[in-house]
Amino acid sequence: MKDFNSERERDFFELFHEYFDLEKDVGKQHDTQNYSLDRMYPLAALAGNPERQLKIIHVAGTKGKGSTCFYLTALLNAAGHSCGVFTSPHLLTVRERFQVNNQLLSYDVLEAAAIPLCQRIKAAGLHPSLFEIFTILALQLFAQAGLEYAVLETGIGGLLDATNYVNNKLITIITPLSYDHTALLGNTIEEIALQKAGILREGIPLVLANQPYPAAETTVLATAHDKNVPVYRTDNHVDLASFLPLGTAPFLVENFCVAYRAVELLNLYPAPAHFQPPTLRARFEVLRDEPPVILDAAHNADSIHQLTRAIGECYPGRHFVCVLGCVPGKDICGIVKGLQGLDAEFILTNPDTPRGSALPQLLEEFQKSSLKILKVKENITSLSDLPSNQPLLFTGSFFTALIGAKLFG
């Protein structure tokens, strides 16, 4: 945990104690009144509209947004161009959200930009959310560093997400869509897709990943048609072996191909010799080779299904102990069904977060399934809580992956 300093982390977040945090306040998170771009425009103006100094690539989706963003940055770097990347949430440190050329910025750099920004916000009497401030802070940091590109990952949805106040986009990307945040985005895949497609801009190219739900693709394509947006798909001509290590999870390969297609549209050609594979926190992240310890933040039915498939392909014949914990509001039934093909026993636990736990719902669904529970452990705090010398998988939430990161990171 060399990138994390608990005191500096606490001091940084204390700068923003006046502003509500939708990621932690579940009540406000599911209140549609809190999702609006109205607060973003005066906030951006206060910071001097830093987005206007950057070439913006905007990424929305349900699955694969973060890894696509980091692959994009690495590919732009390999083509000789500088790039900042803003993603969420973070696993261990807030520094993960603000990266320049896939390198974490220091606490000193973050604070040097955040303190005067907070002072101006207070003086202006604005009341943004923490994520809205972080969005502007990231763009301000990237502009001040003289970067050429900025890759922005949406937080939730697209249409009303804070990152979508930006209009000067070069390319938009939509990764695979599935069911998540339905209280905000809608209960049907069409409603969710419409929200995600809200990042599209008139005439600006879209790279559309392969979609697991045809209705989602139809909705996105209809929106693209209405906005005269040219749509591009991935192809198979990339020499993957020149860029990605052997054993890369299939869903990460797909995300890489989406990112590569976007870079091609910019008429840029990354050099494999200069490509540095990014660190993908809690995205099929292998912390130990043997026996393997894997962190993956899959937290809906489709991402769990992709994870199960990846484990089977990358670790055939291996029997895992899966540490599983989910936060409330997720499709617990779908998650349990998605795990049916995984060769594993399960430790059910609470995620490492104050946002609550769906442990009772997990227990209920497991009792209906054929999956084997090794034990139920409400809080996992030490290696003694886990079996030794066995392959381990931590999943179900970023906050369950965090348990593994603290123990093995």
Domain boundaries defined on the chain: 6-274, 285-408
Question: By C-alpha distance, which of 61, 76, 284 is closest to 178?
Answer: 61
What is the sign, positive or negative, of the torsion defined by CA atoms of 216, 193, 75, 69? negative
> What CATH number has the domain spanning 6-274?
3.40.1190.10
DSSP helix/strand/coil, 111: helix
Give me the pLDDT at residue 119, please.
Answer: 97
Which has the minimum average pLDDT: 15-24, 129-138, 172-181, 267-276?
15-24
The model's pLDDT over 299-358, given as tens digits with 9 standing for 90+, comes to 999 999 999 999 999 999 999 999 999 999 899 999 999 999 999 999 999 999 988 999
**What average pLDDT does this structure show over 157-180?**
95
pLDDT band at 30; cut points 50, 70, 90: very low
Q: CA 311, CA 313: separation in Å to the nearest integer?
A: 6
Question: By C-alpha distance, which of 212, 209, 221, 215 is closest to 71?
Answer: 209
The model's pLDDT over 213-270, given as tens digits with 9 standing for 90+, comes to 999 999 999 999 999 999 999 977 889 999 999 999 999 999 999 999 999 999 999 9
Would the pLDDT of 28 be above 90?
no
Q: CA 6, CA 8: separation in Å to the nearest integer?
A: 6
Provide, rounded to the nearest whole percent, the portion of the chain with pLDDT above 70. Answer: 97
First to last CA, the chain: 6
Give me the pLDDT at residue 284, please.
Answer: 97
Q: CA 68, CA 261: separation in Å to the nearest integer?
A: 11
Q: CA 323, CA 295: separation in Å to the nearest integer?
A: 10
Indicate if 285-408 has the same CATH topology as 6-274: no
Give me the pLDDT at residue 51, please.
Answer: 98
Q: Which two tokens stand for residue 229?
A: 């947006």
Would the pLDDT of 22 be above 60?
yes
Provide, rounded to the nearest whole percent, the portion of the chain with pLDDT above 90. Answer: 90
Tokens 């906005």 -> residue:
227
Give me the pLDDT at residue 169, please.
Answer: 98
- State which amino acid sits at residue 100: V
Please state whether beta strands 98-100 and 83-86 pair in parallel, antiparallel, or not at all (unpaired). antiparallel
- Average per-residue pLDDT in the chain? 94
Which has the minimum average pLDDT: 13-17, 25-29, 144-148?
25-29
CA dihedral 295, 135, 350, 281 (to 10 degrees): 10
The model's pLDDT over 60-108, given as tens digits with 9 standing for 90+, comes to 999 999 999 999 999 999 999 999 999 999 999 999 999 999 999 999 9
In a 10 Å sphere around its CB, with 0-12 CB exposed, 13-18 middle and 19+ buried, how is residue 14 labelled?
A: exposed
**Residue 197: other Cβ atoms inside 10 A:** 26
Tokens 């349900």 -> residue:
62
Distance of CA 195 to the CA centre of its chain: 17
**Residue 363: other Cβ atoms inside 10 A:** 13
Would the pLDDT of 27 be above 90?
no
pTM as predicted: 0.95
What is the sign, positive or negative, of the torsion defined by CA atoms of 18, 19, 23, 25? positive
Cβ neighbors of 19 (< 8 A, separation 6 or more) are 127, 128, 129, 130, 133
Q: CA 392, CA 225: separation in Å to the nearest integer?
A: 46
CATH superfamily of 285-408: Mur ligase, C-terminal domain (3.90.190.20)
Given a contact cutoff of 8 angstroms between Cβ atoms, the answer to whether 55 and 148 are in contact is yes
